[in-house]
Amino acid sequence: MIDTLNQRHAMPGVVQFVEGRGGLPKAVVSNPHAGAEVYLHGATVTAFQPRGQAPVLWLSPQALFQPGKAIRGGIPVCWPWFGPHPADPSKPQHGFVRTMEWSFVHAGCLPDERTELRLHLQDTTDTRAMWPHAFRLELRVLVGRSLEVTLTTHNTSNHEALVSAALHSYFAVSDIHTVQIDGLDGRDYIDLTAGRIIRRHAGRAVIDQEVDRIYIGTEDACLVRDIAGKRILQVGKSGSRSTVIWNPWSAKAAKLADFPDDGFHTMVCVETANAGPDTRQIKPGASHALTQTIEVMEAAV
Ligand code: BG6
């Protein structure tokens, strides 16, 4: 498999395929702007590091790289539902594509030396048993000074499909106690730690306990101010009306086998999503693109 991927898609010095953890294939990108890694398992981006910067994405040191398991960290893809299935709790949390093996279809170089990767996935008998629609998904990853990830849903069935989705990005921070998140002032959120009660947010968001929130009707970028790390991450988006903020804090972290007990100190999820009331209706033959753009701002904190 690795040999075939390299024969078809490798770009000397820029993109190569190697056996990653658990023997799973991954694409390794290195260009003048940044380095990045993408597993075909779940089409999960597991690393992004602009030149001269510390890693931007958090990856759990206890992450499992196994068929049937989602990778804990990086940017897992939640689709076609977010969180538990709305009607059937026996179906997998966050949908089923984050644990499927995607096909790698294209690697290319843009004139400005950014690197483009494309991965595809389409419906199978197994997916139709969980979700009764034909579909084609594409994940396009553009690696430059910023990382741009676009998940495009093509509804190839002959009926309308309801789709919730998230680019479930985990960010590395120096100390969660000093993190502030801008961009959510005045927005309503569904508090998943308090029975889905809706609350209005004011000011910057800080994380000083378990936080699990779907901010609805949010189309603007967020700034993650990592004061201790002396940097700001900008998380921009399009085609997305929800922003999910998640940090499990100590008690929940202790219950997650693939999450270190103290891991919550150095991560925060700021997810580009369409969830809850922002679920999308996609007409037969239509497509929808969800884009997340991650950038380290040069400005001081
Ligand atoms: C977040 C959800 O997006 O993902 C949380 O809002 C959930 O409720 C978290 O706990 C992690 O989910 P999972 O399935 O990867 O453990």
Instruction: For residue range 165-199, list pLDDT tens digits in order.
Output: 999 999 999 999 999 999 999 999 999 999 999 99
* Alpha helix positions (H), the chain: 2-9, 125-130, 249-255
44-100 pLDDT per residue, tens: 999 999 999 999 999 999 999 999 999 999 999 999 999 999 999 999 999 999 999
Which of 94, 196, 247, 292 has the most ligand 1 atoms within 8 A of CB, as the residue to mutate?
94
> What pLDDT band is residue 301 in, cutting at 50, 70 and 90?
low
DSSP class of 149: E
Predicted pLDDT of residue 299: 60
Q: Which residues are CB-contacts of 259 (< 8 A; sequence separation ≥ 6)?
A: 60, 62, 72, 248, 253
Residue 72, token pair as written in the block: 């804990």
- Is-above-0.85 flag for pTM? yes
Closest CA to 240 of 222, 225, 262, 218: 218
168 is catalytic: yes
Spacing, Cα 74 to ligand 1 middle (Å)? 13
What's the CA gap between 216 and 197, in Å, rounded? Answer: 13
